[in-house]
């Protein structure tokens, strides 16, 4: 029996029961991590399931000397210090593959919302007597540029192409040799920004992609174009985005992710008229969250039982050589 901690949120009853049938389980809220009770629970934990956006850096792992497995209830692992985990031989798992459809669906919703200027329409008051918001775009006759073309990006490409007849182009790090996807055409990076009517972000956050969309990219974009981001806020330089939106150097944005979450109350993105912000709900459907919780539970149980987890970011094979995960 190992000591297992569920931190930052909870899991469905069924998952908690599965864990409890093999191990001692405790739940810890994000705030409780900082309490005396939290410190002692972390001290003895051998397995942790982490929910939400808690930063998991050296400070955190200093408090978990017995940790053997960190099972993320998320696909993204940018908040985890993988070098530190490798150094301490902590296996890290994620929920890759469980939330692609849900995030792709939200992306399409935000692309349509941006193109149809939904934020302005929602702010419109009939009694104002003001002119209605300016006209939107028919997404079926426009070009959407996908910045990144992994599992989620390619599902978005498929949905837009097959469902709306949209012209889809993409740029990904794997380069033009992957050209020939049925649902999109690879283009050079600058071409994507210069020619797309909507640019949608689908790259993970890494040191290479951090702030990789900034003033230069907004200057390349058409003044009629929109930015959509359901990936990670910090891929975009938020100050540059606020400038581009305020000066109307781009037409608008629809964002499910921000550089800092929760955002400060005075973040201009929350009040600019040409921006729609949703509170990081890409995976927030009942089925998807259930699948993520089940995967996180199964991954943790597998590692503690000496079996290989379904989706692993970092394991023994990485400890000796590299700390770079897969996504």
Per annotation, catalytic residue among 232, 289, 295, 318? 232
User: By the 8 A CB rule, do 307 and 22 touch?
Assistant: no
Per annotation, catalytic residue among 73, 101, 280, 289? 280
184 lines the binding site for ligand DGY (CB under 6 A): no
Residues paired with residue 228 on neighbouring β-strands, in sequence order: 200, 254
75 lines the binding site for ligand DGY (CB under 6 A): yes
255 lines the binding site for ligand DGY (CB under 6 A): no
Cα(200)–Cα(213) distance, integer angstroms = 11
Q: Name which of residues 86 to 115 contact ligand DGY (CB under 6 A).
A: 99
Candidates 84-92, 237-245, 279-287, 313-321 — which segment interacts with ligand DGY by CB under 6 A?
279-287
Give whichever of 74 and 154 is closer to ligand DGY, judged by the CB atom: 74
Give whichever of 44 and 206 is closer to ligand DGY, judged by the CB atom: 206
Candidates 39-47, 69-77, 82-90, 318-326 — which segment interacts with ligand DGY by CB under 6 A?
69-77
Question: What DSSP string runs through 198-240?
Answer: EEEE-----TTTTT-BSHHHHHHS-TT-EEEE-S-GGGB-HHH
Cα(121)–Cα(102) distance, integer angstroms = 25
* Residue from the set 64, 229, 283, 297 that interacts with ligand DGY by CB under 6 A: 283
* Residue from the set 74, 113, 166, 274 that interacts with ligand DGY by CB under 6 A: 74
Q: Torsions phi, psi of 41, nearest 5? A: -65, -40
Active site residue 280: yes
Closest of 156, 164, 170, 141 to residue 230, by C-alpha: 156
Q: Torsions phi, psi of 287, nearest 5? A: -65, -45
Cα(74)–Cα(55) distance, integer angstroms = 13
229 lines the binding site for ligand DGY (CB under 6 A): no
The vertex-234 CA angle with 232 and 239, nearest 5°, equals: 135
Candidates 114-122, 139-147, 236-244, 275-283 — which segment interacts with ligand DGY by CB under 6 A?
275-283
Q: Binders of ligand DGY: how many residues, by CB under 6 A?
A: 7
Give whichever of 117 and 202 is closer to ligand DGY, judged by the CB atom: 202
| Shortest separation between residue 170's beta carbon and ligand DGY, angstroms | 20
| CA 132 to chain CA centroid, nearest Å | 34
Active site residue 217: no
76 lines the binding site for ligand DGY (CB under 6 A): yes
Candidates 41-49, 73-81, 182-190, 266-274 — which segment interacts with ligand DGY by CB under 6 A?
73-81
Give the dihedral sign, CA 33/38/43/44: negative
**Alpha-carbon Rg of the chain, whole angstroms?**
21
Cα(199)–Cα(133) distance, integer angstroms = 22
Per annotation, catalytic residue among 37, 188, 261, 324? 261
325 lines the binding site for ligand DGY (CB under 6 A): no
User: By the 8 A CB rule, do 145 and 193 touch?
Assistant: yes
| Shortest separation between residue 279's beta carbon and ligand DGY, angstroms | 10
Counts of helices then strands in the chain (DSSP H, E): 12, 13
| Shortest separation between residue 321's beta carbon and ligand DGY, angstroms | 25
Cα(212)–Cα(238) distance, integer angstroms = 11
282 lines the binding site for ligand DGY (CB under 6 A): yes
Active site residue 23: no
- Which residues are the active-site residues? 232, 261, 280
Residues that bind ligand DGY (CB under 6 A): 74-76, 99, 280, 282-283
């Amino acid at each position: 029996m190992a000591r297992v901690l569920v931190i930052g949120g909870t899991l469905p009853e069924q998952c908690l029961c599965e864990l409890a049938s093999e191990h001692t389980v405790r739940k810890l809220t994000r705030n409780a991590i900082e309490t005396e009770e939290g410190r002692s629970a972390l001290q003895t934990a051998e397995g942790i399931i982490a929910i939400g956006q808690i930063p998991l850096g050296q400070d955190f792992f200093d408090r978990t000397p017995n940790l053997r497995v960190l099972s993320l209830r998320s696909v993204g692992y940018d908040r985890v210090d993988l070098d530190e985990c490798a150094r301490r031989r902590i296996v890290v798992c994620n929920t890759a593959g469980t939330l692609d459809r849900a995030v792709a669906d939200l992306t399409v919703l935000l692309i349509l919302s941006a193109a149809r200027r939904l934020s302005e329409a929602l702010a419109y008051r009939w009694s104002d007597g003001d002119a209605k918001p300016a006209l939107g775009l028919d997404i079926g006759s426009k070009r959407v540029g996908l910045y990144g073309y992994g599992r989620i990006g390619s599902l978005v490409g498929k949905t837009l192409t097959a469902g709306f007849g949209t012209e889809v182009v993409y740029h990904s790090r794997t380069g033009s040799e992957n050209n020939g996807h049925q649902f999109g055409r690879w283009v050079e990076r600058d071409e994507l920004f210069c020619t797309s009517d909507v640019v949608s972000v689908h790259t993970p956050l890494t040191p290479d992609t951090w702030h990789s969309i900034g003033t230069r990219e907004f200057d390349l974009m058409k003044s009629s174009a929109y930015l959509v981001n359901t990936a990670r806020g910090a891929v975009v330089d938020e100050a540059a985005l606020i400038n581009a939106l305020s000066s109307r150097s781009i037409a608008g944005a629809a964002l499910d992710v921000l550089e800092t979450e929760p955002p400060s109350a005075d973040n201009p993105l929350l009040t600019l008229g040409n921006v729609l912000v949703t509170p990081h709900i890409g995976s927030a459907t009942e089925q998807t969250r259930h699948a993520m919780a089940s995967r996180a539970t199964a991954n943790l149980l597998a590692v503690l039982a000496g079996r290989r987890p379904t989706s692993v970011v970092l394991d023994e094979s990485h400890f000796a050589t590299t700390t770079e995960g897969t996504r």
